[in-house]
């Protein structure tokens, strides 16, 4: 069996195994889930070592007929971009399971169901990044909504069912627009030499520019909702606030990356001309997202909403990098996706621990945590610093690459986007100051610091943030060739700096 | 006077139809002569035995085709046999539901609340004429998609409709609602039959023939009076669109779906749709194909209105049966896109969609029969709140059917929607595809609302309970779930099977 199919099968098998456990053995279900996700992580790391970095073609390719009547194949394969995202998913899931050990207990259903949903979601996340058949991608893209929907609605807090429905309806609406585009691609491919959903073949299709623009929009809106980009972002804060911290990590860290990944893999490669046509609009929306998300974050009173708003700002950077069409920006965008996964995970997990200890998610209710719970406070601090892209932490590298790469082609956008960094300092430092420093608020005196399990969960996340901050090349070496390939396929060459090196 | 020609019939090819008629007559005889104690079991076994035997016959002749099976009145070909097979499979699982006679009035002929009714209930008399009625309706449905002249088509229409009118009035509970729905269905049905006949008369006037082949030749030749053709097509279409419940001929659907006993609703919703769309496909694909300029724009408009209207109105429904009724109206709109497609892909997709939708429909109504309180079925959606907590398996099955209706991937509904929309797009009907996609989004809203209600709401403090399903109902639900998911994950075998044999012969 091929690696990709194998790593997709592992969580599914784990889920089946958990399903056979009796309801009462919830501890065993947790242990099984952790074991399964760890095995999947090890398998993925092993797969990464087998990846040939210099080879820009898709690797670990596998293809079988699935629905022959429509030319649909089970076809998987990865380039550097997809591989990095799969690796991120594989690493984050065991951390989420370990960090949220008791998350399933406030739910409507059993612990068992919670972990089955998580594992099924993991399989689908691998699938959505690995698919090289547009139909297969769509199936994963839509089907993964179902576990997330139940995770938010069944195990979240507050207005969880309303948030779950809002999430689902937004995503379904986008998905159906994409379906219309996929149907059109299917018919076009049928007219030009046989029905197929293979990305390579679809990128060779001849389309009039009107058709291409319309179909591009079908895909792009679906991805912009997923990512989410202004003005399609309104579902995210509600969903992130209501979901459990672990689910939020998977939602913002993994699921939303499907949107930005989809822009690279589908929008750019199948509709290169339309992508160029819409670039000014998308760059504008990205810049608005960066600033608007940052302003909302500054004003946020709820810590989970705050993290969600910061993500909107960060997704603006990622989209900016993708559509700047330079190798640096493209590499930066992908690295940004990877880093954002980890820094958001750190923020959400620590925030989740803070909230469950304090029983409130309002920032004003915290204060002086530094003295009471030093480890927790420091973890939050480092996560926050990574989120504001402090040099020496991983996000700095990616944000810098995106801005540099964008500046060479769209200087104005890059300059305006730079203000996002200043605002980031505000939206991170304000909650850090209010929650961690200052006098200890009444009610916080007896909060417990992180226990061993929680320390073990957060340590690898912080390690990744720090290591990739000082030494990003292992990740960049995988990403760069693929990013360069994307840019060159679009027919762009990197502009030479006009005032550059003497 | 022409000489009398004795008819030559191909009994082998007609066997599915004949078997069902014979079973129905045996059912009538059992009802008349068998003793009360063995009647229920005898009726159930005869009905199921008959339908299974007929299905075996369909399988046996699956690769046959003939235009002369009944002196040119019936065409046996791939699409016809596929539709007959679908109707029989759907009927079998629907009969499993009907077998729970608890849903049916003990003495339907008695006036609700009258002394005769009380007396018959007190004496434990339970008539079971619903079984032969079902078989007669099935027989009509089997003829409907293979009829190849207007008279046979009309006779089949009446044979399938008349038993359904009666069956709608058989509900044990809420008898007045049930009888009202039967009367409505009958009156509107009779009205639409009149339109149908009127259209048939005009088509005869146009072409001088009642056979499909004769009308097609006239259409191709184009020598007749086009006004007659247009009037004929319009009125014939009204009759057919009434049966499938397309807007603006849908008004009966919610009332009848709500009033009829739920097992009958299941049968009616699924099997009638297959039969009626089967006939429509044959008529539009082979008889009127060359006059597409005259009907395609109109059917396109009706399809768009039907799907949008069905989806929008379903949002405001508070009764699960009415919601499913509006959902079936929306699906009639989706199915009409298959008619509009007018290509081989559209035919294959329609047949696949009909089967997948039919099975999921029966399954959904089967679940409805299970949710009850002391006064019978609970159809008020608010009281379904928290069903997922009390009976997770029942709620999960229902959720599966709803996700299939909504067209979520990995269910049969998604493959159906994809194939039917892509066929329509291929034929250039872009507007319908866009309307279809948008109304799917609207429809998703109310399907998901029900899932939210079942899983995310807390149960109300009342005695809504889920009946322990009888073994037959259990089989129906399980079979429907398995088929719905299997066809979503591995649709290839069925799709290939359909595309290999679904070719209209003329």
CA distance A161 to chain B (A): 6
Give contacts of B495 with chain A, Cβ < 8 Å: 67-70
B445/A contact by beta carbon, under 8 A: yes
pLDDT of residue A501: 44
pLDDT in tens for each of the 502 residues of chain A? 588 888 888 888 888 888 888 877 778 888 888 888 899 899 988 888 888 887 778 888 888 888 888 888 888 888 888 888 999 999 889 888 888 787 777 777 788 888 888 899 999 999 999 998 899 999 999 888 888 888 888 887 777 888 888 888 888 888 888 988 998 888 888 888 788 888 888 888 888 888 888 899 989 999 998 888 888 888 888 888 888 888 888 888 888 889 899 988 888 888 888 888 898 899 999 999 999 989 998 888 888 888 888 889 889 999 998 888 888 888 889 888 888 888 888 888 888 888 887 777 787 777 777 777 888 888 888 888 888 888 888 888 888 888 888 888 888 888 888 888 888 888 888 888 887 777 777 777 777 777 888 888 888 888 888 888 888 888 888 888 888 888 888 777 777 655 544 4
Domain ranges of chain B: 11-501
Q: What is the pLDDT of residue B88?
A: 95
Q: Which residues of A touch B (CB under 8 A)?
A: 65-70, 108-109, 138-140, 142-143, 145-146, 150, 153-154, 160-161, 164-165, 168-169, 172-173, 176-177, 179-180, 183-184, 186-187, 190
Task: Determine the distance in angstroms separating the CA of A65 from the nearest CA of chain B, rounded to an integer.
Answer: 9
Closest to B79 in 3D by CA, of B270, B286, B233: B286
Residues from chain B that touch A65, judged by Cβ atoms under 8 A, are 492
Cα–Cα distance measured from residue B152 to residue A323, given in angstroms and rounded to the nearest whole number: 63
**Residue in A139, A153, A177 nearest the CB of B410:** A139
Q: Which residues of A touch B348 (CB under 8 A)?
A: 69
B426–chain A nearest CA distance, Å: 6
Provide the shortest C-alpha distance from residue A401 to chain B (in Å).
38
B321 near B369, Cβ under 8 Å?
no
Three-state DSSP state, A175: helix
Q: Which residues in B lie closer than 8 A to residue A138 (C-beta atoms)? A: 409
Preceding amide of B248 cis, omega within 30: yes
C-alpha torsion B131→B135→B141→B147, nearest 10: -160
φ/ψ of residue A61, rounded to 5: -75, 145
- Tell me the residue ranges of DSSP E strands in A153-233: none
Tokens representing A199 are 């990305």
Give per-residue pLDDT as tens, B75-129.
Answer: 888 899 999 999 999 999 999 998 887 777 777 777 777 777 777 777 767 778 8
CA distance A175 to chain B (A): 9
A143/B408 Cβ within 8 A: yes
C-alpha B266/C-alpha B217 separation (Å) is 39
In a domain? residue A246 = no
- Containing H/E element for A59? strand A59-67
B396 and chain A in contact, CB less than 8 A: no
Residues of A in contact with B491 (CB under 8 A): 67, 69
Cβ count near A489 (within 10 Å): 13
The whole-number pLDDT of residue B484 equals: 94
Q: What integer pLDDT is reported at residue B272 of this predicted model?
A: 92
HEC letters along B98-147: HCCHHHECCCCCCCCCCHHHHHHHHCCCCCCCHHHHHHHHHHHHHHHHHE
Mutation target among A183, A197, A215, A217 for the B interface, most CBs of B within 10 A? A183
Q: Chain A residues with CB inside 8 Å of B386's CB? A: none
Say what the pLDDT of residue A357 is: 79
With beta carbons less than 8 A apart as the criterion, state whether A100 and A246 touch.
yes
Q: Which residues contact A290 (CB under 8 A, 6 or more apart)?
A: A313, A316, A317, A320, A417, A420
Tokens of A370: 């530094």
Residue B471, φ and ψ in degrees, nearest 5: -60, -35
Mean pLDDT of all residues belonging to chain B: 88
Question: Is the pLDDT at B151 greater than 70, yes or no?
Answer: yes
- Do A146 and B403 count as a contact with CB atoms less than 8 A apart? yes
The structure tokens 């980031």 sit at A424
CB-CB under 8 Å, B448 with A169: yes
Q: What are A388's two structure tokens?
A: 């504001």
Task: Estimate to the nearest angstrom the gap between the alpha carbon of A106 and the chain centroid.
Answer: 26
Inter-chain touch A154–B455, beta carbons under 8 Å: yes
A176 CB neighbours in chain B (<8 A) are: 437-438, 440-441, 444
- Is A335 a member of any domain? yes
Interface contact B437-A177, CB threshold 8 A: yes
**DSSP readout, B262-304?**
HHHHHHIIIIIHHHHHHHHHHIIIIISGGGHHHHHHHHHHHHH
SS3 (DSSP) at B63: coil
Q: Tokens representing A346?
A: 């750190």
Which of A153, A169, A179, A192 has the highest number of chain B CBs within 10 A, making it the mutation to test binding with B? A179
Tokens of A126: 């691998």
- Number of structural domains (chain A) is 1
Structural domain range at position A376: 274-494
User: With an 8 Å Cβ cutoff, are A165 and B499 in contact?
Assistant: no
Residues in B touching A165 (Cβ below 8 Å) = 448-449, 452
Return the residue in B351, B396, B441, B449 with the most chain A beta carbons within 10 A, the one to mutate for interface testing: B441
Nearest to B499 among A69, A139, A190 (CB): A69
How far is A484 from chain B, CA to nearest CA, in Å? Answer: 34
Put simply, whether B415 touches A (Cβ < 8 Å) is: yes
DSSP assigned state of A264: I
Domain presence at residue A471? yes
Q: B181-217 burial by CB neighbour count: b if 16+ within 10 A, else e?
A: bbebbbebbeebbebbbbbbbbbbebbebbbbbbbbb
- Residues of chain B contacting residue A139, judged by C-beta atoms under 8 Å apart: 409-410, 414
The residue in chain B having the minimum alpha-carbon distance to the alpha carbon of residue A153 is B456
> How many CB atoms are closer than 10 A to CB B158?
15
HSE at residue A379, side-chain half, CA atoms within 13 A, is: 29
Q: What does the pLDDT read at residue A1?
A: 58
Q: Is B486 on the interface with A (CB under 8 A)?
A: no
B426 → chain A, closest CA residue? A187
Distance, in Å, from the CA atom of A100 to the CA atom of B305, rounded to the nearest integer, reads 49
Residues of A in contact with B426 (CB under 8 A): 187, 190
* CB proximity list for B117: less than 8 A, separation 6 or greater: B106, B107, B110, B111
Which tokens sit at B230? Answer: 């247009």
Q: A473 CB contacts (<8 Å, ≥6 apart)?
A: none
- Interface ipTM: 0.84
Q: How far apart are CA B420 and CA A128, in angstroms?
A: 25
Chain A within 8 Å of B409 (Cβ-Cβ)? Answer: yes
Closest CA to A163 of A244, A267, A277, A95: A244
**CB of A432 within 8 A of CB of A376?**
no
CB contact under 8 A, B492 and A68: yes
Between A160-191 and A134-143, two packed helices, what is the crossing angle to 10 degrees? 170
B400 touches chain A (CB under 8 A): no
Q: Do B437 and A161 touch (CB under 8 A)?
A: no
Determine contact: B434 vs chain A, CB below 8 A: yes
Q: Is residue A196 part of a domain?
A: no
Contacts of B337 in chain A (CB under 8 A): none
Residue B230 distance to chain A (closest CA, Å): 32
Q: Tell whether B501 lies on the interface with A, counting CB pairs under 8 A.
A: no
């Amino acid at each position: 069996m091929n690696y990709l199919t194998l790593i997709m099968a592992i969580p599914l098998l784990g889920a089946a195994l958990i399903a056979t456990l009796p309801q009462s053995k919830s501890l065993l279900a947790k242990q099984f889930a952790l074991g399964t996700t760890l095995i999947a992580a090890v398998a993925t790391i092993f797969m990464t070592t087998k990846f040939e970095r210099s080879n820009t073609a898709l690797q670990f390719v596998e293809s079988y007929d699935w629905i022959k009547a429509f030319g649909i194949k089970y076809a998987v394969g990865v380039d550097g971009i997809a591989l990095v995202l799969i690796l991120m998913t594989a690493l984050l899931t065991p951390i989420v399971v370990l960090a949220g050990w008791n998350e399933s207990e406030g739910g409507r259903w059993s612990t068992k169901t919670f972990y089955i949903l998580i594992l099924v979601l993991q399989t689908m996340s691998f699938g959505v990044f690995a698919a090289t058949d547009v139909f297969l991608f769509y199936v994963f893209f839509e089907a993964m909504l179902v576990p997330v929907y139940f995770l938010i609605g069944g195990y979240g807090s507050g207005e969880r069912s309303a948030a779950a429905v809002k999430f689902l309806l937004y995503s379904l609406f986008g998905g159906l627009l994409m379906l219309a585009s996929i149907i059109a691609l299917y018919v076009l491919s049928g007219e030009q030499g046989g029905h197929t959903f293979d990305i390579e073949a679809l990128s060779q299709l001849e389309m009039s520019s009107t058709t291409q623009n319309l179909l591009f929009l079908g895909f792009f809106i679906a991805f912009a909702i997923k990512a989410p980009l202004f003005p399609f972002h309104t579902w995210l804060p509600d969903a992130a606030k209501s979901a459990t911290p672990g689910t939020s990590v998977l939602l913002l860290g993994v699921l939303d990356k499907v949107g930005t990944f989809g822009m690279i893999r589908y929008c750019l490669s199948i509709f290169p001309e339309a992508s160029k046509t819409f670039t000014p609009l998308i760059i504008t929306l990205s810049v608005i997202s960066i600033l608007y998300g940052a302003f909302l974050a500054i004003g946020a009173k709820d810590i989970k909403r705050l993290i969600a708003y910061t993500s909107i700002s960060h997704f603006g950077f990622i989209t900016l990098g993708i559509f700047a069409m330079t190798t640096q920006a493209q590499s930066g965008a992908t690295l940004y996706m990877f880093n954002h996964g980890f820094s958001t995970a750190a923020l959400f997990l620590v925030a989740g621990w803070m909230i469950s200890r304090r029983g409130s998610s309002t920032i004003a209710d915290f204060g002086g945590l530094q003295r009471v719970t030093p480890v927790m406070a420091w973890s939050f601090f480092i996560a926050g610093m990574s989120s504001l892209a402090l040099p020496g932490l991983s996000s700095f590298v990616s944000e810098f690459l995106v801005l540099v790469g964008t500046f060479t082609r769209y200087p104005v956008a890059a300059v305006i986007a730079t203000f996002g960094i200043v605002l980031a300092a505000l939206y991170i430092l304000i909650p850090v100051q209010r929650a961690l420093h200052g006098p200890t608020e009444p009610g916080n005196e007896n909060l417990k610091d992180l226990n061993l399990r929680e320390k073990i969960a957060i340590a690898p996340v912080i390690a990744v943030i720090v290591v990739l901050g000082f030494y990003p090349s292992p990740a960049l070496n995988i990403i760069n060739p693929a990013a360069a390939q994307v840019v060159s396929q679009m027919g762009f060459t990197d502009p030479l700096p006009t005032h550059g090196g003497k | 006077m022409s000489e009398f020609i004795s008819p030559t019939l191909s009994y082998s090819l007609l066997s599915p139809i004949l078997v069902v008629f014979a079973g129905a007559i045996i059912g009538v005889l059992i009802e008349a002569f068998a003793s009360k104690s063995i009647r229920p079991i005898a009726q159930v076994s005869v009905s199921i035995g008959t339908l299974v035997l007929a299905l075996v016959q369909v399988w046996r002749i699956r690769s046959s085709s003939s235009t002369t099976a009944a002196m040119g009145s019936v065409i046996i070909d791939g699409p016809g046999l596929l539709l007959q097979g679908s109707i029989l499979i759907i009927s079998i699982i629907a009969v499993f539901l009907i077998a729970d006679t608890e849903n049916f009035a003990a003495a339907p002929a008695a006036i609700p609340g009258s002394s005769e009714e009380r007396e018959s209930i007190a004496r434990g008399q339970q008539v079971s004429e619903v079984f032969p009625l079902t078989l007669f309706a099935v027989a009509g449905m089997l003829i409907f998609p293979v009829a190849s002249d207007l008279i046979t088509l009309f006779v089949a229409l009446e044979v399938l409709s008349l038993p359904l009118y009666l069956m709608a009035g058989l509900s044990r509970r809420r008898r007045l609602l049930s009888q009202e729905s039967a009367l409505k269905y009958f009156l509107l049905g009779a009205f639409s039959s009149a339109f149908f006949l009127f259209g048939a008369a005009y088509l005869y006037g146009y072409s001088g023939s009642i056979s499909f082949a004769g009308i097609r030749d006239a259409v191709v030749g184009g020598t007749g009076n086009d006004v007659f053709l247009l009037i004929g097509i319009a009125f014939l279409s009204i009759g057919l669109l009434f049966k499938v419940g397309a807007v603006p001929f849908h008004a009966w659907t919610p009332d009848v779906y709500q009033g009829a006993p739920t097992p009958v609703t299941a049968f009616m919703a699924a099997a009638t749709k297959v039969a009626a769309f089967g006939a429509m496909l044959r008529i539009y694909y082979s008889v009127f194909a060359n006059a597409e300029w005259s009907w395609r724009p109109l059917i396109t408009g009706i399809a768009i209105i039907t799907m949008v209207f069905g989806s929008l109105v379903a949002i405001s429904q508070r009764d699960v049966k009415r919601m499913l009724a509006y959902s079936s109206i929306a699906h009639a709109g989706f199915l009409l896109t298959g008619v509009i497609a007018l290509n081989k892909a559209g035919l294959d997709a329609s047949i696949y969609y009909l089967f997948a939708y039919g099975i999921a429909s029966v399954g959904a109504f089967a679940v409805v029969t299970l949710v009850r309180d002391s006064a019978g079925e609970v159809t008020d959606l608010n009281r379904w709140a928290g069903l997922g907590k009390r009976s997770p398996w029942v709620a999960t099955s229902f959720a599966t059917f709803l996700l299939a209706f909504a067209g979520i991937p990995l269910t049969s509904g998604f493959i159906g929607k994809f194939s039917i929309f892509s066929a329509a797009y291929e034929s250039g009907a872009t507007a319908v595809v866009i309307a279809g996609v948008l109304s799917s989004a609207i429809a998703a809203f109310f399907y998901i609302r029900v899932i939210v209600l079942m899983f995310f709401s807390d149960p109300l403090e009342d005695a809504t309970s889920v009946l322990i399903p009888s073994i037959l109902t259990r089989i129906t639900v399980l079979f429907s779930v398995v088929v719905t998911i299997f066809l979503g994950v591995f649709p290839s075998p069925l799709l290939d099977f359909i595309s290999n044999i679904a070719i209209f012969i003329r």
